[in-house]
Amino acid sequence: MSVFHRFANPNRFLKLTNQVLPWVSGLTVLSLAAGLYMSFFTSPPDYQQGESVRIMYIHVPSAWMAMFVYTSIAIASVCSLIWRHPLADLAAKASAPIGAGFTFLALATGSLWGKPMWGAWWVWDARLTSVLILFFLYLGHMALMHAFEEQERGNKAAAVLAIVGFVNIPIIKFSVDWWNTLHQPASVMRADGPSIDPSMLWPLLIMGVAFKLFYIVVLLIRIKSELIEAKLRKYRRAVVDKAH
């Protein structure tokens, strides 16, 4: 009876993860160190914003991650709903806290950058508001996922929410172009090429890569942990079934 072979094979996934993990972790440490060094020592102060521009090297990558992780969750949710792949559910579940963390960082570091530049910790402009909504979407996703007795139902409900909430992502991306706001417009991800100096662009990009690698490391460990939990649940059930 080979019926169970047709499901995802978690053992193969675990084996692959264990092989990849040391390499990704090493790369994360390297790129993080290089990014930090460059953002403090090789990049110049901004001619308008002075040294405070150094907050950019964590603020902008955090904001990228906030959107990137949410997009990953939305893609995983589509896979979960259409192909019912169990690993997609685990990936979405494992990603949400990481995404929420980075969204919080984007908001907090933005606030710390905004205070000296704009004179206010917070302004209610389109970009900030839409990122705040994103943060609440992450919280709602996590709450919904854990709100059901049956994990399966939580996964599916959260998947629908993630897909519905995805409308927010283009709004965040283009809010600075559509509305004239205090927040500065995009300077890296532009159709006609980045508009900032290479001495600032490089540390920014390297930090961006470092954050993404960090996400992959934490994500893989979390999925691994979830898989072990699933195995534990199976053992516990077996004990109950035996007593039946």
Scan residues 118-177 and list those touching another protein (CB under 8 A).
129, 132-133, 136-137, 139-140, 143-144, 147-153, 156-157, 160-161, 163-165, 167, 171
DSSP letter at 121?
Answer: S
Of 191 and 235, the one with the shorter C-beta distance to another protein is: 235
Of 47 and 193, the one with the shorter C-beta distance to another protein is: 47
Number of residues that bind another protein (CB under 8 A): 80
* CA distances for 8 relative to 64, 84, 88, angstroms: 31, 10, 10
Name the minimum Å distance from CB 12 to another protein.
9
CA 208 to chain centre: 12
DSSP-derived secondary structure for 85-101: -HHHHHHHHHHHHHHHH
Of 10 and 205, the one with the shorter C-beta distance to another protein is: 10
Structure tokens at 130: 């839409």
Residues 211-230 binding another protein (CB under 8 A) are 214, 217-218, 221-222, 224-225, 227-230
Name the minimum Å distance from CB 32 to another protein.
9
* CA distances for 23 relative to 18, 27, 125, 214, 225, angstroms: 10, 6, 41, 12, 19
Provide the greatest CA pair distance for the chain: 74
Backbone angles phi, psi at 46, to 5 degrees: -75, 145
What single letter denotes the amino acid at residue 85?
A: H
Question: Which residue in the set 22, 26, 44, 116 belongs to the binding site for another protein (CB under 8 A)?
Answer: 116
Of 190 and 225, the one with the shorter C-beta distance to another protein is: 225
Name the minimum Å distance from CB 108 to another protein.
6
Question: Which residue in the set 31, 38, 43, 59 belongs to the binding site for another protein (CB under 8 A)?
Answer: 59
Is there a contact between 98 and 62 (Cβ–Cβ < 8 Å)? no
Name the minimum Å distance from CB 176 to another protein.
16
Q: How far apart are CA 242 and CA 244, in angstroms?
A: 5
- Asked if 7 interacts with another protein (CB under 8 A), we say yes
Of 130 and 205, the one with the shorter C-beta distance to another protein is: 130
Is there a contact between 210 and 32 (Cβ–Cβ < 8 Å)? yes
Residues 78-107 binding another protein (CB under 8 A) are 81, 86-87, 90, 97-98, 101-102, 104-105
Is there a contact between 223 and 17 (Cβ–Cβ < 8 Å)? yes
* CA distances for 190 relative to 32, 102, 186, angstroms: 25, 22, 7
Of 205 and 227, the one with the shorter C-beta distance to another protein is: 227
Question: Which residue in the set 51, 120, 184, 185 belongs to the binding site for another protein (CB under 8 A)?
Answer: 51
Residues 17-36 binding another protein (CB under 8 A) are none
Of 205 and 222, the one with the shorter C-beta distance to another protein is: 222
